[in-house]
Structure 1
Amino acid sequence: MSGPAGPGLATRTVVPGLWAVVGFLVVVEIASGVLQGYYTPIFTDIAEHLGISEGDVNWFEAAQLMLSALAVPLLARLGDLWGHRNVLLVSTAATAVGSWILVFSPNFTTFLIGWAVQGAYVVWLPLEVAIIHRRTAGTPDQNRLTRRAAAMLVAALEAGVIVGALTSGALVEATSMEVLLALPAIAVTICFVVIWFGIERAPGVATGGYDYGGLGLLTVALGLVMAGLVLVRLEGVGSPWPWLAVLAGAAATVALVRFEKDQDEPLVDVRLLAARAQWPVQLTAFLFGMSVLGAQIPLSTFARADPDQVGYGLGASAAFVSTLVGVYVVSMLLGALLLPAAARALGPRGALVGGMLLVSLGYGLFLPFHDSTAQVLSNMGVAGIGSGLLVAALPAAAAAAAPADRTGFATGMTNATKTVGGAIASAVFAIALTATGSLDEPGVGTASLGGYLTVWAVCSASALVGALALAAVRTDPASTAHAQVGAAS
């Protein structure tokens, strides 16, 4: 695969057609970024269009997170069985259907269904990393090429977020809501065509059937936990019902682990997840999700708070909040592009540790420094660089620490655990921020500064725990022999 090297020159692996494949996947990730950035500036307009309160928009996020947590392991396993390209097509078709439902939704219920179905896009990046990892199989530079390609894909994702946010913000006053909502649906439909013609067909490498029992137990476990988190928001922390639901979910999780250990081809490969090279990566993804997914709304509401009225905040306009988001996304883009250099300098595990430490530092800086725009921008920039490193590095590290027939599962689980971490953090932060008011009902009350300090402390502490867990495990998750998976059995 590699050409001859001259004296003293390192040999570089050449994989014919690899970067053409990456180029097609970059288009998909730009569309993914558009989906993630497009709707944020226009949520108020969407609420007005549907005739609902702004607080009801939170149900869209809850529904999509629940579907994402269920869909990722399901589609990742199917990717290993049917072929990652085939399942990427299926998930893109589902995302397109959900996006078009949003265009023609006459009411809250149908829009909620469309928004949940659209969440199938969360499996795109893990499947793409699995495609690249398989495409480079048998080459000595497989892990390096996978990390490099993952960095490019995340860079495209973040660029798409910026493009999406700027586009919707510029067009919202110039066109109808139906036309505005049709643009991302068109983009996803184009992605389906790009994948169909641009990515070669490849069969799955896993054997065995599908674990329907595991799927049922996983659905029950996640459903109960997510229901408990929703009930915390609806009934309050003092109600016993949320905690009973969470406890029931925990019991279902124990049952799931025991059931999956006895399966030859489990949906959730708990033995792989327990492998010494794999569990630190998945734990890091869970803890990282607490900040990258859970802290978005608190950062926005803090920036909008008027310091003359509540004693904290920046008093920023909605337009300026978009600027803050842009700075954060650009810093994430920079972090993703730095991954190859960081991995060369620090090693794959060192790059993960460095990313978590930057996230911990960035949110930790909020505790003493949050009184000015410059301070907030600096803090978000530090956390953003670390987040970009992690978004790119986690799927690649998971793939490198998994057998060839389980790369789709391993990379997909980084998104699943990240989503669960974000959902749990979102509920915790809602409790912290509603001590003296309600974020879900504007005008009812105002969160305390102590609530925001709690949010930042949790984000900083969770990232630090992830860094320590990675550092404590001597085995490098990106270079471990796959034989260790068997040792965990």
Structure 2
Amino acid sequence: MAQLLRGRSGAITLGLVGYLFFVEFVSGVLQGYYIPLIPDLVEYLGIRDPDFNWFEAAQLLLSALVVPILAKLGDMIGHKKVLLLSTVLTAGASWWLVFAADFWSFLFAWALQGFYVVWLPLEVALIFDRGRSEKRGASQTRRAAGFLVVALEAGAIAGALGGGRFFEAVGGNVPLALSVPAAATTVAFFAILFGVPESTPVPGRRLDTVGFVLLTIALLTITSGLTFLRINGPEAWWVYLLMAVGVFLLLPFGRWVLRHPDPAIDLRVLRQPSMWPIQLVAGLLGISILGAQAPLSLYAGTDPVVGYGLGLSSSAISNIIGAYLIAMIVGALLFPVLSNRTTPRIALIVGTTFIAVGYLMFLPFNATPLQVTLNMVVAGIGSGALVAALPAAASAAAPLGQTGIAAGLTNTTKTIGGSFASAVFAVVLIYAGGQAALETVGTYAGYLTVFAICGGTALVSAILLLAVPKLAFSDEVVAGEAAPVTPPAPRAATADPE
């Protein structure tokens, strides 16, 4: 990390990365702290176990909607300002959870807490903005992004290990236990306020309100259809109609932004060979990193008496998850090293290949905890590399003034990919589960299908990355960037924003 230290104004500094390291550690705490408390939260709220899925669905839905808007605002008015705003909203929602004692208030608070998902894209954009003037800004951003993912996963481990223990230490007091992540988020606000410098926004920008409204309606319709597919099952024909309508609504959005001088999302930038594969790979990454979580836990906990599964306790499953998170830390740290010794494109291909190998190893090797752990470690190394690399690569490929929205879109596509996978995997496992009473192999085939999809989509990602120019995301390319790829057309009485 010492190599990040620079004495010149506007450079990437150790202090900047250090403050953002803490903020991302808090993000990890938010993602890991509540997991061991879920059974107790269900009892505290007086709801059923399946009802908790609504909390997760609402948060995923909100994150898919707000990240593009907040990332664009960061490009317009400064990434620090929007990072502070999102932190205030996250902290407020976290404190609301402390006092929420019924389903609906907890649902709204849990959904609003999802504003933290924009932190990493904004942090990467802010770091890249600070290092843009340096000839090694892109490589430094990759290294800094790796440290941020280390903080994220370390926070998730600390949250997962500490949440249940603190809950027991306070005698099962739910409000007191929930005050810990709320307090941590509040401290993160002050860390940003006093420790993080502002980026330099491009003047003359304005928010494409109509474009974002069209995009929000389309994403809301698509993700709602995916959520209802998971809840209502494949027999509900209307969920497919809902998703089809959402896809259709992307057409007027596309026509609008192609005519707009400063669009919500510049589709001309997205179709560049260094950008569109990154966004697609982010969506495919969501399938394994978000969508496969529940199937993996269910498989590990299933009693082998039915013919498959490991029959592990919750603590044993936590050990496998811990090994996976540690592997992600290793992958995040190794990615910038491999990028510097080869090229960022090759490093990305290696990362996706690790994910593919890890999940495809499940097909022949899934009978023992050691085999499953080894599979998850291999996949985790690749996942950690890509979680760090994708927003950094998108920022490096974006023109001046669009780093935030480019990095943010990797998060949005990843979320949509995860939502799609969650819905599809739930249908696959439910259908297979329906066969279990008559034929155990049906359920086993369902899990194998999940693992094969995760491995197959990772292989597709590696192939897509072959379309990226060989020297994309490298310091030489970024240092030579003088202007946006597609500058917005000037408007009357409005300065050219680029």
Partner of 1:441: none
Is the 2:221–2:246 Cα contact (8 Å) retained in structure 1? Answer: yes
Aligned residue among 29, 40, 44 for 1:49: 44
Partner of 2:215: 218
1:121–1:447 CA distance, 2 compared to 1 (3 A): farther
Q: TM-score, normalised by structure 2?
A: 0.91
Amino acid at match of 2:109: G
Partner of 2:492: none
Partner of 2:261: 264
Mapped partners of 1:470, 1:191: distance in 2: 35
Matched, 1:414 2:410: yes
Residue deviations 1:83-120 (CA, integer Å, cap 9, x gap): 00000000001110111111110101111111110000
Amino acid at match of 1:339: F
Is the 2:356–2:456 Cα contact (8 Å) retained in structure 1? Answer: yes
Matched, 1:351 2:350: no
Is the 1:433–1:447 Cα contact (8 Å) retained in structure 2? Answer: no
Partner of 2:338: 342
Mapped partners of 1:384, 1:476: distance in 2: 26
Matched, 1:59 2:45: no
Q: Secondary structure at the match of 1:434?
A: helix
Aligned residue among 136, 147, 156 for 2:151: 156
1:206–1:487 CA distance, 2 compared to 1 (3 A): closer
Partner of 1:145: 140
Is the 2:365–2:371 Cα contact (8 Å) retained in structure 1? Answer: yes
1:182–1:488 CA distance, 2 compared to 1 (3 A): same
Partner of 2:20: 25
**Structure 1 residue 436, shift from structure 2 partner:** 4.0
Q: Secondary structure at the match of 2:74?
A: helix
Mapped partners of 2:341, 2:253: distance in 1: 40
Partner of 1:252: 249
Matched, 1:96 2:91: yes
Partner of 1:205: 202
Structure 2: any 5+ residue segments left out of the alignment?
A: 435-439, 490-498
Matched, 1:78 2:73: yes
TM alignment of 1:118-197, pairs within 5 A: 118-175=113-170, 176-197=173-194
Structure 1: any 5+ residue segments left out of the alignment?
A: 1-11, 439-444
Aligned residue among 237, 240, 254 for 2:237: 240
Amino acid at match of 2:60: L
Larger displacement relative to structure 2 (294-303 or 166-175): 166-175
1:24–1:447 CA distance, 2 compared to 1 (3 A): farther
Mapped partners of 1:87, 1:319: distance in 2: 38
TM alignment of 1:312-323, pairs within 5 A: 312-323=308-319
**Structure 1 residue 14, shift from structure 2 partner:** 5.7
Partner of 2:292: 295
Is the 1:290–1:421 Cα contact (8 Å) retained in structure 2? Answer: yes
Mapped partners of 1:488, 1:369: distance in 2: 53
Is the 1:272–1:488 Cα contact (8 Å) retained in structure 2? Answer: no
1:447–1:15 CA distance, 2 compared to 1 (3 A): farther
TM alignment of 1:427-442, pairs within 5 A: 427-437=423-433
**Structure 1 residue 474, shift from structure 2 partner:** 3.1
Please, what is the CA RMSD of the aligned residues? Answer: 2.0
Partner of 1:7: none
Amino acid at match of 1:333: I
Partner of 2:226: 229
Q: Secondary structure at the match of 1:472?
A: coil
Q: Secondary structure at the match of 1:478?
A: coil
**Structure 1 residue 341, shift from structure 2 partner:** 1.1
Is the 1:285–1:415 Cα contact (8 Å) retained in structure 2? Answer: yes
Aligned residue among 23, 30, 34 for 2:29: 34
Q: TM-score, normalised by structure 1?
A: 0.93
Larger displacement relative to structure 2 (243-252 or 130-139): 130-139
**Structure 1 residue 173, shift from structure 2 partner:** 2.1
Is the 1:281–1:477 Cα contact (8 Å) retained in structure 2? Answer: no
Q: What is the number of residues matched between the two proteins?
A: 472
Residue deviations 1:140-199 (CA, integer Å, cap 9, x gap): 111111111111111111110111011012122222111111100000000001101111
Mapped partners of 2:487, 2:57: distance in 1: 38
1:314–1:457 CA distance, 2 compared to 1 (3 A): same
Mapped partners of 1:206, 1:469: distance in 2: 35
